[in-house]
């Protein structure tokens, strides 16, 4: 029974989502929008912020949320503390929700897609149109 409890309470990290988001390069919006559409999925930006230090903090907090399961409230509180210490106005509830959900959900969906289309999974469970 102890083994079952340990298995059920073990921290699980969604490696594919972590890999996808962790590989993104934070860029200023002006640089991000110069990229061809096909390369934007390799970059990360937040509208309204142009300092790399701030963009890196957004990226780090979002990556932490994907790795550790921190909440939207944790993300907003941490970002607001950081931004206010740097002389910025904090992010609103709407901004926090938009930034958090967009990036977390995209990372999870890419992670799920990578899992579903891995050769091992396709061998065991072919998914018709995805393999073509």
How much is the pLDDT for 7? 66
Q: How many Cα atoms occupy the beta-carbon half-sphere of 14 within 13 Å?
A: 24
Q: How confident is the model at residue 128 (pLDDT cuts 50, 70, 90)?
A: low
How much is the pLDDT for 4? 74
| Segments in the chain forming alpha helices (H) | 2-9, 15-22, 29-32, 37-40, 52-68, 72-85, 93-116, 119-124
Q: Is the pLDDT of residue 31 over 60?
A: yes
Q: How confident is the model at residue 60 (pLDDT cuts 50, 70, 90)?
A: very high
8/65: higher pLDDT: 65
Instruction: Collect all residues with Cβ–Cβ distance below 8 Å to 44 and sequence separation of at least 6.
Output: 21, 24, 25, 26, 27, 32, 55, 58, 59, 103
Q: Contacts for 6-15 with beta carbons within 8 Å, 24 or more apart?
A: 13/67, 14/66, 14/108, 14/111, 15/111
């Amino acid at each position: 029974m102890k083994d079952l409890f340990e298995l059920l309470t073990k921290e699980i990290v969604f490696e594919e989502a972590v890999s996808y988001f962790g590989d993104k390069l934070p860029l200023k919006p002006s640089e991000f929008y110069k990229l061809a559409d096909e390369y934007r999925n390799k970059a990360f930006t937040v509208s309204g912020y142009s300092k790399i230090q701030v963009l890196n903090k957004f990226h780090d907090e979002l990556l932490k949320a994907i790795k550790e399961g921190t909440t939207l409230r944790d993300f907003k509180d941490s970002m607001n503390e950081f931004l206010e210490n740097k002389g910025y106005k904090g992010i609103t509830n709407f901004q926090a929700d938009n930034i958090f959900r967009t990036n977390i959900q995209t990372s999870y969906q890419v992670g799920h897609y990578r899992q579903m289309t891995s050769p091992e999974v396709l061998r065991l469970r072919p998914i018709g149109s995805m393999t073509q």
